[in-house]
Amino acid sequence: MDWEVILSDALRSGIGPIAAVYALAAIGLNLHFGYTGLLNFGQIGFMLVGAYGVAASVSTFGLSLWAGVLVGLACSVVLALLLGMPTLRLRAEYLAIATIAAGEILRLFYRSTWAEPVTGGVYGLQQFADDFFDANPIPRDSYGFWLINFSSRDLWVLLVAWGLVALFAGIMALMVHSPWGRVIRSIREDEDAVRSLGKSVYAYKMQSLVFGGAIGSIAGMMLAIQNQSVNADTYNPVETFFLYTLLVLGGAGRVLGPIIGSILFWAVLTFFDSALRQAIGAGYISPDVLSAGEVGAVRFALVGLGLMLLVIFRPQGIVGSRREMLLDVR
Amino acid sequence: MSDNSATTALAGLDCEPGVRKPDPLLVVDGVTRAFGGLTAVHVDNLEVQRGAITGLIGPNGAGKTTLFNVLSGFDRADHGHWTFDGRDITGRAAHRVARQGLVRTFQLTKTLSKLTVLENMKLAATGQRGERMALSLLPPLWRGQEKDIVRRADELLERFRLSHMREEYAGTLSGGQRKLLEMARALMVRPKMIMLDEPMAGVNPALTQSLLGHITDLRDEGMTVCFVEHDMDVVMGISDWVVCMAEGSVVAEGPPQAVGKNPAVIDAYLGRHHDEPENEADDG
Amino acid sequence: MRNFRLLVPLLAVLFVVLAPSVAAAQGDEVVTGPGFIDRALQSLLDGIQFGAIIAITAVGLSLVFGTTHLINFAHGELVTIGAVVAFFLNVGGLGLHIIPAALIAVVVGAVLGGLLQLGLWSPLRRRGTGMINMFIITIGLSLLLRHVVLVIFGTRPQSYREYDIQRAFDLGPVGITPRDLAIFSISLLVLLGVAFMLQKTRIGTAIRAVSSNRELAEASGIDVQRVVLVVWVLGGGLAALGGVFFGLTEIITWDMGFRLLLLMFAGIILGGLGSPYGAMVGSFVIGIVAQMSSLWFPIDLQNAWALLALILVLLIRPQGILGQRERVG
């Protein structure tokens, strides 16, 4: 087994663009779940409308990339309002079910033959982000450190993606430590108390849903742009569950939780993946027990097991405070 | 019971349920609330005098908490109207009722465990610029206001003897301290009237005295207080006016001594106990 | 207000009927050939049958939610496991006929449901794990079980040996295969049986009591732990049965339960969260909407329309068809 390959795979994945995209989407989810206590199980739907907002605007309608970004943001706001209006006055479970259903509805519609003229159906859309890569100021060269190397293109994607993560983490830090954030965190604790003090809980929940959803759509845009392609089947409801896993891993309700969670999640996942494949390749694991094709399934099963164990034994995550968890009366 | 302007104003009124008060702040008119087939509240007329302490008593299941919930917007009424300070607030959402100046506390305290005591206090201040989402990103715009809020919160914490817990999570407070915090927090809203749901429940006797002191102090400063309580002695001691509910309706009201002797009140308590000795169900 | 309840299924049907104008606006050709009424009746029949399968799986999920307030995201995996266990007994080495295989699968589902309650949920509750953390644990469990099934079963869709292809009875304008008729009749009997149990037996009364007020039920001497265990066993068994039926009428795949889960949720919310009868009614509506939508829309959008009906109902009548009005804010 080549440990150097395994380690460099894990490292590359942990700091890679996908980790950044998931960190960004989880920052939005953290506002919903970690700070406001909203059970949004359809963050992937926000990512999808963001991604297609950009892709369809450019590919199908010939608009500029920036116009596409605005379209994607507008779609995410509309989606949040549509989901929030009927459910935010009801018990938390309603939002959970409405959002998970909405994510699946969107995926099915965007991939359908019916929507094919706009979304490309099951084939998706490609090559819509040339403007983004043309704007790359980094000279063509190979940049590397330790075990990994990046092209100037990779570096540009990483710079923008992690730049967005830093930007939104900063915004989030400011917001949750403001009086607005105080109201939001109080709603998570006990919304009746907040209501009895004259705050419109509904309005604050809606603001949280819209803003966190918009951050999710930006993550979706970044995912689409760095791939230069969108395909509805990438936006599976299961992805939201991964976001929950990494958020709980890092620490929900902490500014750095989603970032640390995403880096670790992808590094560990890729480590397992790479190690299993190497072990099968080297004959340590018999193909009768586990074939290379089944590694993907095993790794998802491990995510599930990891999520269960985390929530049971360390619900506060890596950067959360144990003391605060113990105050949880529910 | 102490002599004060409120008792003087209320002196000489008829001791009839629904009697008109000289200067009512809250006026309830024909409010009913039923759960399934069961009528929990049916109050024809009830007025709460401004600047007085009104005690609301009654056996378990009399509908006191339900009435509180309806009036404060936490439950809806099936019929009826109620006005507060001359404004019709029938069916208003809870947060709008609070903004009108009618603030309530809860039987099971709703302190926010994972916020510090000071944060609990700061949350309750009204008209905060920093509570707007867009402005939250610009601390210079709200920092000054925040300082004023902290100053006022500190004064109230001092008064309620919670200053030493200022930076602790509210979840670490004792039951009695939570009651105090909830009352102090309600005052941050600068209410005209405060409705306390069983403020003495689960509080040790030493703290009870201090809580009672706080309630009378509030009245002496001109605040209107209405509270629900089971313990007759407590109610009789500090109330300027007592309203007794049974089976959803107001059966008697008047000054404490008069209500204490009222046969309807004795019936309500004893009759109920004779009928259903083991009924421990909550007021809901 | 009560009459308004009746409007919801009507609206759902209306929505399906009005949909062609939307399709027409999209420039698609609306097929309204001579056989339209026949095709509509046929898809109505298919819808009722699909609804019955959703209903048997959704009732268990609804009862679990009613008694424990847990949204069990892993309920779909119980469905898949039921179908897959029957498949291995039926097609694998033992080669059992599908009927005994199905019965064994139901027992496995029931035992699995009971084991989950005894080995996972009950200890977690005793540890004081919060409700929201419990949801997330069910998500983890769902991922775990689903992908274990994937490793064992593989990605290839499979069918049972018996009753795969049958000739339909001709019933005037519509047709139904003997297999589907049998499945539909059994489903209805099972649903009636559940309703009978809830209304007429001691344990059913206890389940309803725990659902309406857990504390009060506990105080009045009902053994809540036992009731919850019964509900999990029942829910697991029904889920497995639904899985076998779904595998018989459609096909067995590793993620069939997860796909069905969303429709179960839709049915439960549509009927009114926490009401088992609501879950049944809602499931039928979902099944009908899904099947009838294919009269006008591409078949790959069937489930999307059914889920969209859920969102529409939330907008119009959030408490569902049979739910109690419950508004927190």
**Residue range B116-140: average pLDDT?**
93
pLDDT tens-digit profile of B210-265? 888 999 999 999 899 999 987 777 788 889 999 999 888 999 898 888 888 888 88
pLDDT tens-digit profile of C170-218? 777 777 888 888 899 999 999 999 999 999 999 999 998 888 888 888 8
CB atoms within 10 A of CB C141: 21
Query: Would you call B195 helix, strand, or coil by DSSP?
Result: strand
Query: Would you call C319 helix, strand, or coil by DSSP?
Result: coil
The answer to whether the CB of C137 falls within 8 A of the CB of A308 is yes
Q: What is the pLDDT confidence band of residue A87, given thresholds at 50, 70 and 90?
A: confident
Domain boundaries defined on chain A:
3-142+150-325
pLDDT at A177: 93
**Structure tokens given for C218:** 């506990």
Please report residues of A whose CB lies closer than 8 A to that of C269.
Answer: 94, 97-98
A195 in contact with B, Cβ within 8 Å: yes
Distance from C-alpha of C212 to C-alpha of C235, rounded to nearest angstrom: 18
> Topology of B5-111+174-275 in CATH?
Rossmann fold (3.40.50)
Q: Which residue has the tokens 């089971």?
A: B230
What percentage of chain B has pLDDT greater than the value 70?
Answer: 94
Classify domain C2-11+36-155+174-316 by CATH architecture. Answer: Orthogonal Bundle (1.10)
Q: Which chains have 3+ CB pairs within 8 A of A?
A: B, C
CA atoms within 13 A on the CB side of A224: 37
pLDDT at A323: 67
pLDDT at B275: 47
Q: Which of B112, B135, B169 sits opposite A193 (nearest CB)?
A: B112
Q: Is the pLDDT of residue B155 over 90?
A: yes
Distance from C-alpha of A224 to C-alpha of A212, rounded to nearest angstrom: 19
Distances (CA, A) of B34 to B248, C3, C208, C328: 10, 20, 22, 17
Give the CA radius of gyration of chain B: 19
Residue B33 C-alpha, separation from nearest chain C C-alpha, in angstroms? 14
CATH of span A3-142+150-325: 1.10.3470
In chain A, which among 185-244 make CB contacts under 8 A with chain C? 191, 195, 201-202, 237-238, 241, 244
Q: What is the pLDDT confidence band of residue B3, given thresholds at 50, 70 and 90?
A: low
pLDDT tens-digit profile of C162-174? 776 677 777 777 7
Mean pLDDT score of chain C:
83
> Residue A117: CB partners within 8 Å, gap ≥ 6?
A60
CB atoms within 10 A of CB A186: 26
CB atoms within 10 A of CB C105: 27
Q: What is the pLDDT confidence band of residue A330, given thresholds at 50, 70 and 90?
A: very low
Domain boundaries defined on chain C:
2-11+36-155+174-316
Distance from C-alpha of C211 to C-alpha of A184, rounded to nearest angstrom: 31
Distances (CA, A) of C191 to C54, C58, C276, C320: 11, 11, 10, 20
Please report residues of A whose CB lies closer than 8 A to that of B103.
Answer: 196-198
pLDDT at C89: 92
pLDDT at A195: 94
Please report residues of C whose CB lies closer than 8 A to that of A304.
Answer: 139-147
**Strand A148-151 relative to strand C169-171: parallel, antiparallel, unpaired?**
unpaired
Any idea how long chain B is? Answer: 284
Q: Where are the alpha helices (DSSP H) in chain B?
A: 5-10, 64-71, 94-100, 117-124, 143-159, 175-188, 205-220, 232-238, 256-261, 263-266, 272-275
**Structure tokens given for C10:** 């009507």
pLDDT at A38: 94
CB contact under 8 A, B131 and A180: yes
pLDDT tens-digit profile of C75-116? 999 999 999 999 999 988 778 888 999 999 999 999 999 999
Q: What is the pLDDT confidence band of residue A20, given thresholds at 50, 70 and 90?
A: very high
Q: Is the pLDDT of residue A328 over 70?
A: no
Q: Is the pLDDT of residue A7 over 80?
A: yes
> Residue C171: CB partners within 8 Å, gap ≥ 6?
none
Distance from C-alpha of A230 to C-alpha of A124, rounded to nearest angstrom: 5
**Which H or E run contains B193?**
strand B193-197
CB contact under 8 A, C301 and A109: yes
**Residue range B87-92: average pLDDT?**
92
Distances (CA, A) of B118 to A329, B103, B111, B142: 20, 19, 11, 17
Q: Which chains have 3+ CB pairs within 8 A of C?
A: A, B
CB contact under 8 A, B110 and A185: no
Q: What is the pLDDT confidence band of residue C324, given thresholds at 50, 70 and 90?
A: low
Predicted model pTM: 0.88
Please report the number of interchain residue pairs, chain B to chain C, with beta-carbon separation below 8 angstroms.
3
**Residue range A299-310: average pLDDT?**
90
A328 in contact with B, Cβ within 8 Å: yes
The answer to whether the CB of A104 falls within 8 A of the CB of C307 is yes
> Residue C251: CB partners within 8 Å, gap ≥ 6?
C157, C158, C159
**Residue range B173-197: average pLDDT?**
92
Distance from C-alpha of C317 to C-alpha of C4, rounded to nearest angstrom: 9
pLDDT tens-digit profile of A193-244? 999 999 999 999 999 999 999 999 999 999 999 999 999 999 998 899 999 9
CB atoms within 10 A of CB A55: 30
Please report residues of B whose CB lies closer than 8 A to that of C325.
Answer: none
CB atoms within 10 A of CB B280: 9
Amino acid identity of residue B9, one-letter, is A
**Residue range A274-284: average pLDDT?**
85
Distance from C-alpha of A187 to C-alpha of A200, rounded to nearest angstrom: 10
Please report residues of A whose CB lies closer than 8 A to that of C286.
Answer: none
pLDDT tens-digit profile of C9-33? 445 445 544 444 444 444 444 445 5
pLDDT at C24: 45
Mean pLDDT score of chain A:
90
B110 in contact with A, Cβ within 8 Å: yes
B1 in contact with C, Cβ within 8 Å: no
Distances (CA, A) of C8 to A199, C11, C156, C229: 34, 5, 39, 34
Distances (CA, A) of B160 to A7, B153, C154, C225, C305: 59, 11, 66, 44, 58
Helix axes A257-281, A152-176, angle to 10 degrees: 140
Helix axes C276-293, C256-271, angle to 10 degrees: 120
Please report residues of B whose CB lies closer than 8 A to that of C216.
Answer: 281
3-state helix, strand, coil in chain A (%, to 5): 75, 5, 20
Distances (CA, A) of A43 to A48, A207, A213, C161: 9, 15, 7, 41
Q: Is the pLDDT of residue B284 over 50?
A: no
Q: Is the pLDDT of residue C1 over 70?
A: no
Please report residues of B whose CB lies closer than 8 A to that of A190.
Answer: 110, 112
